[in-house]
Amino acid sequence: MHCTAVIAVHPLRASWRSIRNKIRICRQTEYDLIQAYFLGNNSRQQQLATTTLASRPRFVTNA
């Protein structure tokens, strides 16, 4: 009698990854919109303040 190793994959793992990707896309879009808005206004002081506040987030993927 031999035993086959079954690797259990969490059922929400794939959907959780897609949710995390959507959040990443939303935050990048928000960052790009803020940058475009303040670059369009051509206000150097506001642009510098926004650039420090809205930094593109780095996501740690736990594989």
- From first to last of its 63 residues, the chain has per-residue pLDDT tens of 555 555 666 666 778 889 999 999 999 999 888 888 877 766 555 555 555 555 555 555 544
* Domain presence at residue 20: yes
* 36 sits in which H/E element: helix 13-41
3: tokens are 């035993």
Distance separating alpha carbons of residues 2 and 33, to the nearest angstrom: 59
Q: What is the pTM of this model?
A: 0.39
* Domain presence at residue 11: no
* Domain presence at residue 41: yes
Q: What is the pLDDT of residue 45?
A: 55
* Domain presence at residue 48: yes
Backbone φ, ψ for residue 35 (5° rounding): -60, -45
Q: What is the pLDDT of residue 63?
A: 46
Q: What is the pLDDT of residue 39?
A: 79
Residue 45 structural domain: 16-53
